[in-house]
Amino acid sequence: MRVLSVASECAPLVKTGGLADVAGALPAALRAEAVEMRTILPGYPAVMAALAADAVQVMTEHDLFGGPARVLAGQAAGLDLFVIDAPHLYRREGSIYLGPDGQDWPDNPERFAALSLVAARIGTEGVTLGGQLWQPQILHCHDWQAGFVPDYLAQAGGDCATVLTIHNIAFQGLTGHHMIEPLRLPRSRFHAEGFEYYGKLSALKAGLMRADRLTTVSPTYAAELMRSEFGMGLDGVMRARRRDLSGILNGIDETAWNPANDPHVPEGYRHPAGKIPNRDALRAEMGLPDSAGPLCCVVSRLTEQKGLDLLLEALPTLLDRGGQLALLGSGDKALEQAFRDAAREDGVAVRIGYDEALSHRLIAGADAILVPSRFEPCGLTQLYGLRYGTIPVVALTGGLADTVINASPAALDRGVATGIQFHPVAADPLAVALDRLCDLYAQPDIWAQMQANAMRQPVGWASSARAYAALYRDAIATA
């Protein structure tokens, strides 16, 4: 099968979140399923710099929302790419979504409509590669930035199948209805069964209404999206399309995240017999004293979604039991300051910012990783924790519910527990979970069994790749 993945970001070339990890991992994972996936990306400076020198021009656009553009076919970071070289849209330093003032680029609607329009054109016409026509059978669209692909495809008369993956329904690509004509969309679709959303134009809703198949990144999140508290105003759309919706878990890069041979972790952190040297090295690096309780880590954006305000409330429970916290993250300025203030207490160390190497050392050295998210489509940090035998303490939501086996009495009796879940998502239940964590940590035999279970848990892409390939086959057969 030939699949074109339409994404606004793709690891390791450009990344702000989990969408990039999925877009970067799927092509290699799908090769085993006889799927040839190419990825189309905007020509941001980082992408253009990484593109191989032998990239070839395969398409041109005289006027792509305000200027000329060309499409280059080439390789970078082991990925087969189409890159939209449109300097008037993408040649900007800094964030791919935000301007220097921290606000969305005002022309984001045009920037990502351009991505969708070019992808639809490739789906309709194909491109010539090495003297042969390459035309996808599937356009796999990621989030709102690719939401207009099905509409542009229909306008062009294309007949390839479309799949839209929702990575986070909170981001919907909203703009004023005055943009319908400038974005080259039919005003006849501006209604409740089209891309109208409370008087605005929604790129995500456009894709949700018209793509042949919908997916999201965990089975539980797929079910949650049909409820008003999770659907962000689109729960009715999700209920209407429930038969076309699948939840397919994300995986992680098991080469990059390998406790036996982690390039970001110095030799002092690696120890096949257990975590003691890793934990000692991490405490020394973070300036934490020895302690009898578990060393917990957080690697996260500091936002309300991630529930880290709840952790601040519950933190005394952990510290009173001799536990510790090492946190790496950035985001909401009030939360950043609150954690800086918390670091004045013994047993708390905080680094504001992002450091890829430190994130690996935190997960390699900590006893537990805390993920108290209010909602979490899939989550990756709990998967990294499982891989390293770092016990996840997670809210019972989304992919956290699907990937962690709670240490209930039944699961402990059967010897299958891999972590601790709490519900409802509030400070008091989190405090109870932290108490439970300390109780289990104080029982070495049970704790060692949980660590072993966690490290045996499949966290790669193999089963998810099989699910995507089956979905593609079904979409092609029924499109």
Strand partners, 421: 394
Query: For the chain, how big is the Rg over CA atoms in Å?
Result: 23
DSSP-assigned letters across all residues of 232-283:
TT-HHHHHHTGGGEEE------TTTS-TTS-TTS-GGG--TT-SHHHHHHHH
In the numeric block, the tokens 């992002």 are attached to 354
Helix (H) or strand (E) holding 386: helix 381-387
Q: Residues 336, 339, 344, 350: is their CA dihedral positive or negative?
A: negative
Q: What are phi and psi of 91, to 5 degrees?
A: -85, 80
In the numeric block, the tokens 């397919």 are attached to 248
Burial 81-119 (b: 16+ CB within 10 A, else e): bbbbbbebbbeeeeebbeeeeeeebeebbbbbbbbbbbb
The reply to whether 306 sits in an annotated binding site is: no
For residues 417 and 411, the answer to whether their CB atoms sit within 8 Å is yes
Instruction: Return the DSSP state at 177.
Output: G
Helix (H/G/I), strand (E/B), else coil: 27: helix
| Residue 252 one-letter amino acid | I
In the numeric block, the tokens 């601040």 are attached to 312
What residues form the annotated binding site for ADP-alpha-D-glucose? 15
Binding site: residue ranges?
Answer: 15
